[in-house]
Amino acid sequence: MRSITTAVLSMALCAAVAAAADEKQVVLRKADGAEKVETNCAICHSLDYIPMNSPFLNAAGWDAEVAKMINAFGAPISPDDAKIIADYLKANYGK
């Protein structure tokens, strides 16, 4: 019970800190695959990494980035979802 209370309080604190920092929610470009990106990528990190890295990554770079998240960091993304995510990133945020 104590761990549940701690988790709830931690989540509330994180939300309060984000609100206090005036953090803006990242809205991805609406296109096929955006939901897969939001569902899979935001589990581990903020979605602001996507537009932040877009000036630097071409199609091969986005493929490598998705592969790195799966192979190096252990992101639990299926091969089918990985292709959809990579295709979305290349089409909407590629250099």
Q: Is the pTM of this model over 0.75?
A: no
Encode burial over 12-48: b for 16+ CB neighbours within 10 A, e otherwise: eeeeeeeeeeeeeeeebeeeebbebbbebbeeeeeee
Q: Report whether pLDDT(16) > 80.
A: no
Q: What percent of the chain has pLDDT over 70?
A: 76
- The one-letter code for the residue type at 70 is I
Q: Taking the alpha carbons of 65, 66, 67, 68 in that order, is the dihedral positive or negative?
A: positive
3-state secondary structure (DSSP) of residue 28: coil
Tokens of 53: 């890295």
What would the pLDDT profile of 36-50 be if each residue is shown by its tens digit? 999 999 999 999 999
Q: What average pLDDT does the segment 67-82 reach?
A: 97
Task: Give me the pLDDT at residue 5, please.
Answer: 58
Q: What average pLDDT does the segment 9-34 reach?
A: 70
Domain boundaries, given as residue ranges, for the chain: 24-93
- What's the fold here for domain 24-93? Cytochrome Bc1 Complex; Chain D, domain 2 (1.10.760)
Mean per-residue pLDDT over the chain, rounded: 85
